[in-house]
């Protein structure tokens, strides 16, 4: 195995352990020693890969956003109609969110702790994701929509999806598939009806 | 002015200053000295009213939830139809949220820092608020709805409303009234359409 690959695997291991701690205890309350211990490494070992705790945070959040963006546009292009594309976008968002619960919770709760230069990198990735959704909505609703309205619609959907970290238990009665279907059902019909009322 | 009333005014002053600091800098990163300085009081003065920082947090969050619950059921009862009651609930939620931005942000970001006994008091108030919305939805949609579905619907709406702290600028193009109208428009039509599809 090449050195760079081994290094990346080690970084992933540290990132996973740290994300779990950050999402449970909070970023500020977690020390590099605790991260090392959770990753079953020495503190020196962790410092070999990350020079500071904010570098670990940046690695976790940027990696998560890369996963969110990975093949997104290519996969959307393969789907024929905008109704199904919106459905795919929502179910994919919920699935990624649930499968990477520690990372997604850390993104929502701790991103503001990133130093400006790292925050900027993350914000660029988030902006790209937002833009994919905004284009999808334009396509779904047809015609032109004022920018402020389109932005609010997109963030209303993100709100429906992301708020689940406050209340949703994937092991409860409602399956992640049912949850996605509900959010898609409410949003797709609702946004269509709202947009028609604005144009009437 | 009675002593108890003066005391309450002082506590409100400390709470306001602290909520602003907590929402800007974070609860863990704010000291009692900083709270005292922001409230233009001595540190001893603050400790006269609150024995610890978590008491300040509890005071802020419980007060905010009391405001959210204040006259809510009475005001809803005065409104004839469930469509208008839902509209009132949403616009009231957005308005309170915007007018008490520091307190509502602190509620979303810092409530987990409350010690268990205080957290329990807050959770009771939040549960009551949730129940008002759940009853409202039952009324609006008619018939019986499985509990897990009703819960998910209610939290989907809270997600649309509460997520605004991540993106919405009340001084921007979209007014709070327009934002409320959009959320109400999307949710009321969407949840109706979704529920009909489940019953079909």
Residue A189 predicted with pLDDT over 70 = yes
> Number of structural domains, chain B?
2
Instruction: Report how many helices (DSSP H) and strands (DSSP E) chain B contains, helices first.
Output: 10, 0
Q: Are A185 and A92 members of one domain?
A: yes
* A133, A89 contact by CB (below 8 A): yes
Looking at the fold, whether A122 and A45 belong to one and the same domain comes out as no
**Partners of residue A183 in chain B, C-beta under 8 Å:** 156
If asked whether residues A87 and A137 sit together in one domain, one would say: yes
CA A50 to chain centre: 23
CATH number assigned to the domain comprising residue A8: 1.10.10.60
Tell me, yes or no, whether B67 and B40 share the same domain.
no
Alpha-carbon span B89 to B72, nearest angstrom: 8
pLDDT digits (tens, 9 = 90+) for B92-151: 999 999 899 999 999 988 898 899 999 999 999 999 999 999 999 999 999 899 999 999
- Cβ within 8 Å, pair B162-A163: yes
Residues 159-188 in A contacting B (C-alpha not used; CB under 8 Å): 159-164, 166-168, 172-174, 179, 182-183, 185-188
Q: For residue A2, what pLDDT is reported?
A: 58
Average pLDDT along chain A: 94
Phi-psi category of A168—alpha, beta or left, where left has phi over 0 and alpha has psi -120 to 50? beta
What's the DSSP call for residue B164? G
Judge if A100 and A148 occupy the same domain.
Answer: yes
Chain B positions in Cβ-Cβ contact with residue A189 (cut-off 8 Å): 189-190, 193-194
**A119 inside 8 A of chain B by CB:** no
Ramachandran bin of B50, using left for φ above 0, alpha for ψ from -120 to 50, beta for the remaining angles: beta
| Coil, strand or helix at B79 | coil
The closest alpha carbon to A128, from A87, A166, A73, belongs to A73
CA-CA-CA-CA torsion sign (B98, B15, A29, A47):
positive
Q: Band the pLDDT of B64: cuts 50, 70, 90.
A: very high
ipTM: 0.91
Put simply, the answer to whether B164 touches A151 (Cβ < 8 Å) is no
B151–A167 CB contact, under 8 Å = yes
Whole-number Å distance between alpha carbons of B35 and B28? 12
**pLDDT value at position B55?**
96
CB < 8 Å to B137, chain A: none
* Mean pLDDT, chain B, whole residue set: 94
Query: CA–CA separation, B30 vs B158, rounded Å?
Result: 28
- Whether residues A87 and A40 share a domain: the answer is no
* Chain B, nearest residue to A105 by Cα: B109
Q: What is the mean pLDDT of residues A85-100?
A: 96
Distances (CA, A) of B170 to A126, B16, B28: 22, 20, 27
Asked if B111 and B42 sit in the same domain, the reply is: no
Q: Do A185 and B173 touch (CB under 8 A)?
A: no
Q: What is the pLDDT of residue B5?
A: 84
3-state helix, strand, coil in chain B (%, to 5): 80, 0, 20
Query: Coil, strand or helix: which one is B168?
Result: coil
pLDDT score of B183: 98
Residues B82 and B152 in one domain: yes
Is the model's pLDDT at A64 over the cut of 90? Answer: yes
| pLDDT at position B1 over 80 | no
To the nearest 10°, report the CA torsion of B80, B81, B83, B84.
-10
Cα-based angle A53, A58, A61 (whole degrees, multiple of 5) = 125
**DSSP per residue, B28-52:** TT--HHHHHHHTTS-HHHHHHH-SS
Residue B153 CA to residue B66 CA, distance in Å, equals: 24
Q: What is the pLDDT of residues A112-156, one digit of tens each?
A: 889 999 999 999 999 999 999 999 999 999 989 999 999 999 999
What pLDDT, in 10s, does the model give residues A1-29?
Answer: 556 788 889 999 999 999 999 999 889 88
* Total length of chain A: 200
Find the residue in A nearest to B191 (Cα).
Answer: A186
Same domain, A76 and A134: yes
Q: Is the pLDDT of residue B2 over 80?
A: no
Residues B162, B88 share a domain: yes
Q: What percent of chain B has pLDDT over 90?
A: 86
Q: Looking at residue A85, what is its pLDDT?
A: 98
How far apart are the CA of A164 and the nearest CA of chain B, in angstroms?
8
User: Hey, are the CB atoms on A193 and B185 less than 8 Å from each other?
Assistant: yes
Last residue of a domain, one of B12, B35, B52: B52
Mean pLDDT of B12-33: 94
pLDDT of the residue at B116: 92
Q: What is the CATH number of the domain that holds A93?
A: 1.10.357.10
Q: Same domain, yes or no, for A195 and A142?
A: yes
Q: How confident is the model at residue B187 (pLDDT cuts 50, 70, 90)?
A: very high
Interchain contact, B163 vs A185, CB within 8 Å: no
- Report the predicted TM-score, pTM, of the whole model to 2 decimal places: 0.92
- Cβ contacts (< 8 Å) between A167 and chain B: which residues? 151, 155
Q: Name the residue range of residue B97's domain.
A: 59-199
Q: CA-CA distance, B159 to B6, in Å (whole number)?
A: 38
From CA A102, how far away is CA A83, in angstroms rounded? 30
Same domain? For A25 and A81 the reply is no
Q: What's the sign of the alpha-carbon dihedral A33, A37, A42, A47?
A: negative
Is the Cβ of A155 closer than 8 Å to some Cβ of chain B?
A: yes
pLDDT for position A9: 92
């Amino acid at each position: 195995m090449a050195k760079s690959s081994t290094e990346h695997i080690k970084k992933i291991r540290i990132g996973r352990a740290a994300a779990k701690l950050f999402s449970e205890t909070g970023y500020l309350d977690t020390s590099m020693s605790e991260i090392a211990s959770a990753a079953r490494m020495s503190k020196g070992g962790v410092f070999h890969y990350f020079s500071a705790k904010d570098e670990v945070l940046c690695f976790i959040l940027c990696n998560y956003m890369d996963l969110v963006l990975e093949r997104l546009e290519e996969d959307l292009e393969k789907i024929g109609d905008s109704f199904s594309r919106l459905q795919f976008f929502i179910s994919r968002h919920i699935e990624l969110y649930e499968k990477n619960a520690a990372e997604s919770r850390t993104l929502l709760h701790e991103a503001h702790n990133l130093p400006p230069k790292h925050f900027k990198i993350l914000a660029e990735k988030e902006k790209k994701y937002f833009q994919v959704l905004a284009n999808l909505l334009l396509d779904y609703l047809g015609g032109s929509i004022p920018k402020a309205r389109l932005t609010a619609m997109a963030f209303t959907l993100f709100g429906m999806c992301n708020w689940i970290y406050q209340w949703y238990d994937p092991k409860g009665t409602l399956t992640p598939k049912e949850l996605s279907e509900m959010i898609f059902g409410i949003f797709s019909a609702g946004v269509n009806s709202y947009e028609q009322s604005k144009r009437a």
